[in-house]
Chains A and B, each alone.
Chain A
Amino acid sequence: MSKRRVVVTGLGVVSPNGMNVSEFKKSIQSGKSGVQFIDKLKQLNFSCQIAGYPVYNKDYLNNYFTQIQLKGLNATGMEYGVVSGMDAWRDAGLTINKTDTPNWDHGVIFGTGILGVDKFREAIYKVDQGNVRRLGSNSVTQTMASGISAFLGGILGCGNIVTTNSSACSTGTEAILMSYDRISSGKAEIILAGSTSDSGPYVWGGFDAMRILPYKYNDNPTAASRPMSASAKGFVPGSGAGALVIESLESAQKRGASIYAEILGGHVNSGGQRNGGSMTAPNSEAVQHCITKAIENSGINATQIDAINGHLTATGKDTAEIQNWCEALQRNGDDFPYINSLKSMVGHCLAASGSIESVATVLQLKENFVFGNINCEDLHPDIAAMISRNKVPAKTISFSSNIIAKASFGFGDVNACVIFKKYN
């Protein structure tokens, strides 16, 4: 059976620099940072006392959760995931299934690294005090990794796959590709794909301990996240969620849905923690293999890629990433595609990064722009030696891309690359 065409028909986002798609679009076009100083982190003796996290009034959640669902809710990842997921669903023109029959063709693949850490902390204190009976009914559902897909699947009434994937910082991009595979092979018609990541000291602490976060920008937070810059000093932790409604072209046309973009294909792989790869560092050969395979699976050739939304976290690995793109695409200098990193504005949203960045990628295709990289006036000389300065726009430019590649790489030496195309 030949592969079916797959498109994106809905978007939702809860980002440090925008609580919905239109706010987010405005922010990324104008280079607005969502990175802030957090006094709590200072009190807790963090070296890096800044982060990107979504800011909203708790009342906002009344639009998405019932009063009973909100009772005892203490899982930021759940809040971000549900808000972005339901926004994407509505944006696609879909409604909540109000019948008694689940919709067998609708599914949810919504990933996370860890869910409900604050709820888990609450539970640990109660258990240690011998007060396990006080945990109530929602401790499990807010802390199980699949709590987010279960919540969304239940609200929407989905009867196809409802699962949570987890592959560190490649989680979001992987969720999109898992959805693509399932729809292109005819096993589902519509899947809400996305990922979410909790906020707070318990999520970010481990990274602070690894000394991979910048600690000299506590008084200048918006300048801290510097992907591809010569003065990059580590990634700024972030949080949030992104969601995309992935649908068969057939179904989208039948519904008369408006289409944001087409997904041509992609690839996920692992470097096996061999040949330079480790628990925390990527095997460059595997990164290149992932990109090459993604291009091959998409039935295009490397010269057709107009822009890249990179992983590019603002660590010493940015240079290696650019080199891997150059090798995989066999393009460099002026011939290299435009490249950008959303992390310059929102930080590294960990498990949520791939989905939030994919929302940004799809918006660029649909609205004909390439967002600018902030904090990269001083492009790293090793990068400048490989690609032309004008391929790393500092300010947003008008540009009609036909094809954009988006890649994410994660701890455990895992990679994911998806190829989006303008729908026409």
Chain B
Amino acid sequence: MLVLSLKNITSYLELLVPEFMTKEELLSKLKNIITPYVQNQEGLNSLNENTDFIKDLEINSANLVDVVLDVEDEFDIEIDNESMEKMLTVKASLEIIESKLSAK
């Protein structure tokens, strides 16, 4: 019983937390997600809102869908085709993640 209720509390917290996530926290989570796909380490070191996934980080364009799937898993959201097409920069990605989180 105790284990069960602890589990319930944890998942309840997990549901709440994203809404209170700061921009910094979001960025840090996004950075963790994209890191394995990045081919230009320098771009990653100077990651900021204007960073372009393909131009600055040299992420293979085919891998962008994998980034989106990882984002969906991390934040427990679903990203539609139109939004996905816009997720080419850090800024656009953060905006989309935030809007999907607030719509939850």
Task: Report whether B65 and A47 are in contact in the complex, using a CB–CB cutoff of 8 Å.
Answer: no
- The answer to the question of B61 belonging to the interface, with a C-beta cut-off of 8 Å to chain A, is yes
Count of chain A to chain B residue pairs whose CB atoms are closer than 8 Å in the complex: 19
Residue B81 is within 8 A (CB to CB) of chain A in the complex = yes
A350 to B65 Cα, complex, angstroms: 21
A209 surroundings in chain B (CB, below 8 A): 65
Cα separation A158 to B60 with both chains bound (whole Å): 44
| Distance A423 CA – B81 CA, assembled complex (angstroms) | 49
> Do B81 and A215 touch (CB < 8 A)?
yes
Q: Closest CB of chain B to A417's CB: distance in Å?
A: 24
With the chains together, A210 CA to B69 CA distance in Å? 11
Option from B62, B65, B84 in Cβ contact (under 8 Å) with A278: B62
The interface residues of chain A lying within 8 Å CB-to-CB of B61 are 280-281
CA distance A280 to B63 in the complex (A): 10
Docked-complex contact A210 and B60, CB < 8 angstroms? no
Within A204-234, the residues touching B (CB, 8 Å) are: 209-211, 215
Chain B residues, Cβ within 8 Å of A278: 60, 62
Would you list which residues of chain A between 47 and 71 have a CB under 8 Å from chain B? 47
**B60 & A211 in contact (Cβ 8 Å cutoff):** no
Chain A 19-47: CB-based contact to B (< 8 A → 1; otherwise 0): 00000000000000000000000000001
Q: How far is the CB of B61 from chain A (nearest CB, A)?
A: 7
Which of A211, A280, A281 is in CB contact (< 8 Å) with B81?
A211
B85's nearest neighbour on chain A, judged by CB, is: A211
Query: By the criterion CB–CB under 8 Å, are B62 and A210 in contact?
Result: yes
A210 contacts B81, CB within 8 Å? no
- Determine whether the beta carbon of A47 is less than 8 Å from that of B62: no
Residues on A with beta carbons closer than 8 Å to the beta carbon of B65: 209-211
Cα(A47)–Cα(B62), bound, Å: 17
For chain A, the count of residues having a C-beta within 8 Å of the partner chain is: 9
A144 at the B interface (CB under 8 A): no
Number of interface residues of B (CB under 8 A): 7
- Give CA–CA (A215, B82) in the complex, Å: 10
Give the distance to chain B from A169, nearest Cβ to Cβ, in Å.
15
A215 contacts across to B, CB distance below 8 A: 81
Query: Once the chains bind, are A47 and B60 in contact (CB under 8 Å)?
Result: no
A385 within 8 Å of B (CB atoms) = no
A210 proximity list for chain B (CB < 8 A): 62, 65
Q: Mark B65-104, 1 if CB is under 8 A from A, else 0.
A: 1000000000000000100110000000000000000000
In the assembled complex, the CB of A130 is this many whole angstroms from the nearest CB of chain B, namely 32
Complex interface: chain B residues within 8 A of A211 (CB) = 65, 81, 84-85
Do the beta carbons of A279 and B81 come within 8 Å of each other?
no
**Complex-state Cα separation, A210 to B60, whole angstroms:** 12
Say how far B39's CB is from chain A's closest CB, in angstroms.
10
A278 to B81, CA, bound (A): 24
How many angstroms between the C-alpha atoms of A311 and B65 in the bound complex? 24
In angstroms, how far is the closest chain B Cβ from the Cβ of A235? Answer: 14
Chain A 262-286 residues near chain B, CB threshold 8 A:
278-281
**A198 to B17 Cα, complex, angstroms:** 46
Q: Which residue of A lies closest to B84 (CB)?
A: A211
Q: How far is the CB of A147 from chain B (nearest CB, A)?
A: 29
List the A residue with the shortest CB-CB distance to B62: A280
Which residues from chain A contact B85 at a C-beta distance below 8 Å?
211
**Least Cβ–Cβ distance between A233 and chain B, in angstroms:** 10
Note all chain B residues with C-beta closer than 8 A to A281.
60-62
Q: Mark B14-48, 1 if CB is under 8 A from A, else 0.
A: 00000000000000000000000000000000000
Tell me the bound Cα distance from A279 to B66 in angstroms.
Answer: 15
The CA-CA distance from A280 to B61 in the complex, in Å, is 9
Q: How far apart are the CA atoms of A209 and B63 in the complex, in Å?
A: 11
Smallest beta-carbon distance B98→chain A, Å: 22
Q: What would 16 more interface pairs be, CB under 8 Å, given A215-B81, A281-B60?
A: A209-B65, A210-B62, A210-B65, A211-B65, A211-B81, A211-B84, A211-B85, A278-B60, A278-B62, A279-B60, A279-B62, A280-B60, A280-B61, A280-B62, A281-B61, A281-B62
Q: Which 10 A-B pairs have the closest CB atoms?
A: A280-B62, A278-B60, A211-B65, A47-B81, A210-B65, A215-B81, A210-B62, A211-B84, A209-B65, A279-B62
User: Footprint of B on A, CB under 8 Å?
Assistant: 47, 209-211, 215, 278-281
Enumerate 19 A-B pairs (CB-CB under 8 Å) in ascending A order. Answer: A47-B81, A209-B65, A210-B62, A210-B65, A211-B65, A211-B81, A211-B84, A211-B85, A215-B81, A278-B60, A278-B62, A279-B60, A279-B62, A280-B60, A280-B61, A280-B62, A281-B60, A281-B61, A281-B62
